[in-house]
Amino acid sequence: MRCITPGTFVLQTSDGSGLEAVAGFDGPAIVAMVPEGCATFIHDPRGGAEGWQRLTIGQMVEAPKKAIGGVSSWQMAEDVRQLTDLARTPFAVPGPDGVGKPALGADDAVDRMTQWLLGQSGLQGEN
Can you give the pLDDT at residue 125?
Answer: 62
Can you give the pLDDT at residue 111?
Answer: 74
Query: Which amino acid does the sequence have at 14?
Result: S
Q: In this structure, are residues 6 and 27 in contact, taking their beta carbons and an 8 Å threshold?
A: no
**Ordered per-residue pLDDT tens for the chain, 127 residues:** 889 999 999 999 999 999 999 999 999 999 999 999 889 999 999 998 888 889 999 998 888 888 888 889 999 889 888 888 888 877 666 566 666 666 655 566 677 777 778 888 877 665 5
Can you give the pLDDT at residue 27?
Answer: 96
Backbone angles phi, psi at 2, to 5 degrees: -70, -10
Return d(Cα 97, Cα 74) in angstroms, integer: 38
Return d(Cα 112, Cα 106) in angstroms, integer: 10
Cβ neighbours for 21, distance < 8 A, ≥ 6 positions apart? 9, 11, 42, 44
